[in-house]
Amino acid sequence: MTTILVTGASTGIGYATALRLSKNATVFAGVRSESDYAAMGALGENIVPVYLEVTDRDSIARAKTTIAEKTGGRLDALVNNAGIVVAGPLELIEPEQFERQFAVNVMGPLYVSQAFLPMIRAAKGRIVTIGSIGGKMSMPYVGPYSASKFAIEAMTDALRIEMLPFGVKVILIEPGAIKTPLWQRTQAAGKATAERLSPEGLALYGEPIRKMQAFSSKIEDGAIGPERVAEVIERALTARSPQARYVVGTDARVQLVIARLPEAIRDRLIGSLLARA
């Protein structure tokens, strides 16, 4: 049976993907807590939970040993899904927060891909990474997140070409707004950032942050479910000739068009959208 590792499988896109793929494959579901381990283990015999913290190379090594023992050293696919959002004005973001954003969203996929590539190469398998339309167009007050997703775009492009001689397909998924706990955490992170602002910072950014949160709430109303992304991930894993990128969601397609506008026009358009929020 096909074997697939999904990181960040306890909620959102990762959870929906593990469920969908487990219908026809053995899914190793990367989780970080005992409660999530137990919950994923109760979902069926084709879902095998593994402890996996993507920023911890020792944790990754232990997960690799576990999976290798169960598969004989072969893994057909990896879905790099684990991610977080750091929100706030770049002028006031704590360096530690920015570093954490890149540790999870950029270094994490790199560490996991490096660890499992020998197994995937043996299977001539696939690596699917969850990016974001935010990797095509930065929005204000989520600059750290967008920066991490721009980095994922570059990494995926390089890895895709590097893997051509080995028959390994490398694919990027670019969703728009998705109804997941990550979106809710984004809103909470923005609120927490605003609450931490000094009086000077609040005077500078309090109102813009409020408008960005209002704008995000409107986008959330039209967000699609994680199951839609899971369906696209399955397509990327099973298509004979998968696309290099899959844009998911109407809002993502609209943002892709906006991203291609001249910067001066794009900036004014985004500013006007936020002003009306």
Catalytic center residues? 145
CA dihedral (245, 248, 254, 260) in degrees, to 10, reads: -10
For residue 218 the two structure tokens come to 């409107």
For residue 161, give the DSSP letter: H
Closest CA to 132 of 277, 29, 247: 247
For residue 273 the two structure tokens come to 């959208």
First to last CA, the chain: 50
Q: Would the CA dihedral through 131, 133, 136, 137 be positive or negative?
A: negative
Q: Measured between alpha carbons, how far is 277 from 218 in angstroms, rounded to an integer?
A: 8
